[in-house]
Amino acid sequence: DTGVSQDPRHKITKRGQNVTFRCDPISEHNRLYWYRQTLGQGPEFLTYFQNEAQLEKSRLLSDRFSAERPKGSFSTLEIQRTEQGDSAMYLCASSLGLMMNTEAFFGQGTRLTVV
């Protein structure tokens, strides 16, 4: 197991275009998180899944953002009609089980630049 994998690592898109990111969690991890991180800031929670169920979606997330986790495996995060303010690092993390002490493992992130 190579850890949490995110694809692509970098994405440059024109304003108004749609983009989709993929996250492959560590196998058997049933909890999957998406965070957004801007330069010099801490990760901001976007949404998370328990298996295929999306448990919570941040109020920061506009209707242009949608996430899925079909069959409780990999997850995708789609941003429609991108805006310059969407430029950020998008981080995915996964953890095993429902216990609070379980470690969340992070991927290397997808850096989005909207021009």
Partner 1 sequence: AQTVTQSQPEMSVQEAETVTLSCTYDTSESDYYLFWYKQPPSRQMILVIRQEAYKQQNATENRFSVNFQKAAKSFSLKISDSQLGDAAMYFCAYRIRDDKIIFGKGTRLHILP
Q: In the complex, which residues of this chain contact partner 1 (CB under 8 A)?
A: 4, 33, 35, 40-45, 48, 50, 56, 91, 93, 98-101, 103-104, 106-109
Report in angstroms how near the CB of residue 15 gets to partner 1 at its nearest.
26
In this complex, which beta carbon is closest to partner 1, that of residue 15 or of residue 55? 55
- Residue 76 contacts residue 21 (beta carbons within 8 Å): yes
The C-alpha atoms of residue 97 and residue 25 are separated, in whole angstroms, by: 13
Residue among 14, 17, 29, 33 nearest 109 (CA): 33
Closest by CA position to 77, among listed 51, 50, 97, 49: 49
Q: Among residues 5 and 13, whose Cβ is nearest to partner 1? A: 5
Q: Which CB, 17 or 113, lies closer to partner 1? A: 113
- Name the minimum Å distance from CB 92 to partner 1: 10
